[in-house]
Amino acid sequence: MTGTGSGQTEHWAPGDHILWRYRRNDPPPAPGREGAPAPFHICRPVTIVRDTDELLAVWVAPGTECVKPVLANGTDVHAEPLATRYTAPRATARTNWLGNGVLKLARPGEPWSVWLFWEPAWRFRSWYVNLEEPHTRWDGGVDSQDHFLDISVYPDRSWVWRDEDEFDMARQAGLMTPGAARDVRAAGLAAVDVIREWGAPFRDGWEDWRPDPRWRVPVLPDDWDRTPTRMPS
């Protein structure tokens, strides 16, 4: 890990391994009854591509062992009907990342990250704007919480909302307050403005990026859900 000087954010070096984690979406606590943060239910070991004050870029390599949420009986979450998808009991499971790898880009303080997907033979498919809490850095990685609503963006600069049904159901299930839902929709509209202006990162040529062939696939640690230790910032 490299530093930028006293009192400033420390940065990871290209090739370093960190954890990219998401906390579970629990119902918000009643005012005055805030307790411990929700536990983690998604964890992806990733390789640092770039880490600066302006951008964190990481690579999820094919075959990486990750943690994902599952139903309590071990089946896929999306096997549960939408009406009960966010109320049915859940657990977590270790599983390997299937298909091609994914490049993830996040800018400090921004309420979304942008993911790049390729087809076989590195044929670029699309960008994916994942609406989420701005990332919190700690000594072992970055943490966030997913906000259900997403946007797909295509090379012809067209775009489409994704998972609006899940976003609506999450609201009905009480996983976010009406105010929080409005904030998420506003963040999505701000992302749409960036898409329409073809701002960063869409204009930056990341679709031509390729991973260093010398990089090893990161290992999922046993203590993947450990309590974070904040990095200086």
Average pLDDT over residues 39-61: 98
One-letter amino acid for residue 18 of the chain:
I
Tell me the residue ranges of DSSP E strands in 145-224: 146-153, 159-162
Give the chain's domain count. Answer: 1
One-letter amino acid for residue 93 of the chain:
A
pLDDT tens per residue across span 186-195: 999 999 999 9
- 176 within a domain of the structure (yes/no): yes
Q: Is the pLDDT of residue 217 over 90?
A: yes
Q: How many CA atoms lie within 13 A of 53 on its CB side?
A: 7
Q: Is the pLDDT of residue 6 over 90?
A: no
3-state secondary structure of 195: helix
Instruction: Return d(Cα 222, Cα 87) in angstroms, integer.
Output: 28
Q: Is the pLDDT of residue 154 over 50?
A: yes
Q: Is the pLDDT of residue 225 over 50?
A: yes
For residues 144 and 22, is the Cβ–Cβ distance under 8 A?
yes
Percent of the chain with pLDDT over 90: 88
Instruction: Return d(Cα 166, Cα 172) in angstroms, integer.
Output: 10
For residue 37, the model assigns a pLDDT of 87
Which residues, 6+ apart, have CB-to-CB distance to 15 below 8 Å?
47, 48, 212, 215
Identify the band that residue 5 occupies on the pLDDT scale cut at 50, 70 and 90.
very low
First to last CA, the chain: 14
Element containing residue 185 per DSSP (H, E): helix 178-197
- 99 within a domain of the structure (yes/no): yes
For residue 231, the model assigns a pLDDT of 59
- 222 within a domain of the structure (yes/no): no
Q: Is the pLDDT of residue 197 over 50?
A: yes
pTM: 0.93
Instruction: Return d(Cα 103, Cα 195) in angstroms, integer.
Output: 18
Q: Is the pLDDT of residue 38 over 50?
A: yes
- 168 within a domain of the structure (yes/no): yes
Range of the domain at 18: 13-29+36-208
Is the peptide bond between 201 and the residue preceding it cis, with omega within 30 degrees of 0?
yes
User: Regarding predicted confidence, which is higher, 29 or 55?
Assistant: 55
φ, ψ for residue 127 (rounded to 5)?
-100, 155
pLDDT tens per residue across span 77-124: 999 999 999 999 999 999 999 989 999 999 999 999 999 999 999 999
CATH number for the domain spanning 176: value is 2.40.380.10
Question: What is the 3-state secondary structure of 28-79?
Answer: CCCCCCCCCCCCEEEEEEEEEEEECCCCEEEEECCCCEEEEEEECCCCEHHH
